[in-house]
Amino acid sequence: MIRKTLFILSFVLLATVNASAQRVKIHTTMGDIVVRLYDETPVHRDNFLKLVREGYYDGTLFHRVIKGFMIQGGDPNSKGAAPDQMLGNGNPGYTLEAEFREGLYHKRGALAAAREDDATNPERRSSGSQFYIVWGRTFSPRQMEYLIDQMQMKHPETGGLTPAQREVYATYGGTPHLDGQYTVFGEVVEGLDVVEKIQNLPTNPADRPIDDVKVTMEIVE
């Protein structure tokens, strides 16, 4: 039973990694992270690649870090930001249409687009530049059932989880309550240990790391 579970999990996590797709290396002061962009979300993929080519992200920070949840970057206002400067509102002046796709969800290492909340953004359009990488947690069967009940109450149109999602969230981890709410457009294929280190950093009351985590990016050919 254990071997079967591990085989299923490995297949779920690696099936898409072997496919040909564009990759971006995120250089940080804590180490390098390589993400693979999904072809199933072409609007987000192409926009991310465009910004990387333009050097848009170079010099930005992972400006919002929450232990056990995620690390967020992509705010252009974070370039050279003073230690007490409030961050999180910067953008390139446009948003992106949501691209929710079956099979793309918030497992640990998922790359997703940040956005404004539903009250001001009922279409759940994504920020033109801000993104986050999931860390999350694992869930016991009892926790999973409670979570699903809560998700179905708040978002009945997207509240269910497939057997594959349940398996991954139970054994590998993630943030399932974000599924169907934010666009997932890639995943970490190298450097998940760097994501772990960043999400463990001490932060100020605004969730900004005390010591800046600076970013530059390049497309991996």
Contact 106, 65 (CB under 8 A): no
pLDDT at 20: 53
Higher pLDDT, 4 or 115: 115
Give mean pLDDT, residues 84-89. 95
* 16 has a pLDDT exceeding 90: no
Per-residue tokens: 149: 């009940």
pLDDT at 141: 85
- The confidence band for 12, taking pLDDT boundaries of 50, 70 and 90, is very low
Give mean pLDDT, residues 47-56. 98
Taking the C-alpha atoms of residue 185 and residue 112, their distance in angstroms, rounded to an integer, is 6
Q: Which amino acid is at 206?
A: A
pTM tops 0.85, yes or no:
yes
* 217 has a pLDDT exceeding 60: yes
pLDDT at 129: 98
pLDDT at 185: 98
Kindly give the residue spans of alpha helices, DSSP state H, lying in the chain. Answer: 2-14, 42-54, 141-154, 163-171, 192-199
* Share of residues in the chain with pLDDT > 70 (%): 90
* 71 has a pLDDT exceeding 80: yes
Sequence-distant (6+) residues with CB within 8 A of 126 are 44, 95, 96, 97, 98, 113, 114, 115, 182, 183
140-187 pLDDT per residue, tens: 888 888 888 887 887 777 767 888 888 999 999 999 999 999 999 999
Least confident of 5-14, 73-82, 198-207: 5-14
Higher pLDDT, 64 or 6: 64
Taking the C-alpha atoms of residue 188 and residue 160, their distance in angstroms, rounded to an integer, is 24
Domain locations in the chain as residue ranges: 22-79+95-116+128-220
Higher pLDDT, 154 or 24: 24
Q: What CATH number labels 22-79+95-116+128-220? A: 2.40.100.10
Find the helix or strand (DSSP H, E) in which 110 lies: strand 110-113
Sequence-distant (6+) residues with CB within 8 A of 58 are 215, 216, 217
Contact 134, 107 (CB under 8 A): yes
Q: Which amino acid is at 56?
A: Y
Kindly give the residue spans of alpha helices, DSSP state H, lying in 15-162. Answer: 42-54, 141-154
Contact 41, 55 (CB under 8 A): no
Which is nearest to 23 in space by CA: 7, 13, 34, 15? 34
What mean pLDDT, rounded, does the chain reach? Answer: 90
Taking the C-alpha atoms of residue 184 and residue 112, their distance in angstroms, rounded to an integer, is 4
Q: How many CB atoms lie within 10 A of CB 69?
A: 17
Give mean pLDDT, residues 51-59. 98
